[in-house]
Amino acid sequence: MNYEFLDCDIRDSVAHVALLGTDGIPAGEFCDEMVDMLMRLQDDRAVRVVLLTDAGGPWDMAFDVRAIAESWHSGDGPGLSAGNLDTIRRLTTMMNDLPKPIIVAVSGDVRDDGFGLLMNADVRLAAPTATFTAGDMITGMLPDWGLSHLLPRRMGTGRTLEMIWSGRSIPADEAYTIGLIDRLVPGDAWEETVGELVRRIAGLPQPAVQMSKLAVQQSAQFDLTTAMSLEYEAQEKCWDSEETAAALAAHLDGQVPDFSVILSDEDV
């Protein structure tokens, strides 16, 4: 896959995706490339996990605020902003609907739309050198990417409002403490820890991984009884899958299951 702002290297069942470029990646063009890439990865049976990394550089994507200001000044209405929001909605929907896990691992600055991208991943890892900054409300525009929904559920309403109103950058240790990221990884263990996690997930039976992603995503919508009914239905789907059968058989034999030979269309 050849893209201007993304590099995708598939190895060992993991799509290793790194952002190319430095500051000021145009968010619209990036989102279009990201959607195209995820659509391809969704249909690629060799890919079981998607890993997004920053390669140590900034995740600094943004829409053209000057163009938005000029559109407002000329009286053109919110059409340009609406188009940007549609672009974001398309990508975030794709990320959340993708049955394959999306893991983000960052060690640099994550800003503006890059921060929105990070928050729509399934799992977030960060090195101690990472920082996190939401879009600056000084322009009179709200942070988007669904952050008004995602952030309060991770760190509460007060912390969310303090972050987006203050415009400050949050260091990695604080981000981990308040639940903004899921795991803080020491720099000397960075590559080993990230690689170990994605290999572990890629080695799990994918029907179980995919159904657990769906169940956890929907957990806030249901009471316990409904959630347990969903779990039961998910277990039935796993039970009928060839990967679960292979995993159970391997467990009986004290072996590690090999899913590379399974090509059944039954596995979701």
> Please, what are the domains in the chain?
6-200 (3.90.226.10), 205-252 (1.10.12)
User: N- to C-terminal Cα distance for the chain?
Assistant: 24
The 10 Å CB-count burial string (b at 16+, else e) for 90-113 is ebbebbeebebbbbbbbbbbbbbb
What are the C-alpha distances in Å from 186 to residues 68, 72, 96, 174, 183? 40, 45, 28, 14, 10
What confidence score (pLDDT) does residue 56 get?
A: 66
User: For every one of its 268 residues, what pLDDT tens digit does the chain have, with 9 covering 90 and above?
Assistant: 778 888 999 998 999 999 876 566 787 888 899 999 999 999 898 899 999 998 767 788 776 666 666 665 566 555 556 677 788 899 999 999 999 999 999 999 998 888 999 999 999 999 999 999 998 888 777 888 899 999 999 999 999 999 999 999 999 999 999 999 999 999 899 999 999 999 999 988 888 888 888 888 887 778 888 888 888 888 888 878 888 888 888 888 887 777 765 544 444 4
The reported pLDDT for the residue numbered 266 is: 42
Give all strands of the β-sheet with 131-133 in edge-to-edge order.
25-26, 59-62, 109-111, 131-133, 170-171
d(CA 139, CA 73): 13
Q: How far apart are CA 113 and CA 60, in angstroms?
A: 7
What pLDDT is stored for residue 107 in this prediction?
92
The predicted structure's pLDDT at residue 152: 93
Count of other CB atoms within 10 angstroms of residue 228: 11
The one-letter code for the residue type at 11 is R
Q: Please tell me the predicted confidence (pLDDT) of residue 233.
A: 84
The answer for residues whose C-beta is within 8 angstroms of residue 126's C-beta and 6 or more apart is 105, 106, 107, 172, 175, 176, 181, 183, 184, 185
- The closest alpha carbon to 130, from 199, 74, 205, 57, belongs to 57
Residue type, 112: D
Among 237, 191, 192, 195, which residue's Cα sits nearest to residue 214? Answer: 237
Q: Rounded to an integer, what distance in angstroms lies between the CA atom of residue 30 and that of residue 25?
A: 7
Residues contacting residue 235 through CB under 8 Å, at least 6 positions apart: none
Entry field: residues in the chain: 268
Distance of CA 120 to the CA centre of its chain: 5
- How far from 16 is each of 47, 101, 105, 191, CA to CA, in Å? 10, 12, 11, 12
* Nearest CA-CA partner of 48 in 191, 228, 209: 209
Structure tokens, 209 = 């991984």
User: What pLDDT shows up at residue 30?
Assistant: 86
Asked if 209 and 201 count as a contact pair (C-beta separation under 8 A), the reply is yes
pLDDT computed for residue 261 by the predictor = 57
Helix (H, G, I), strand (E, B) or coil at 266: coil
Q: What is the pTM of this model?
A: 0.87
E strand spans, the chain: 6-11, 14-19, 25-26, 49-53, 59-62, 102-106, 109-111, 123-126, 131-133, 170-171, 183-184
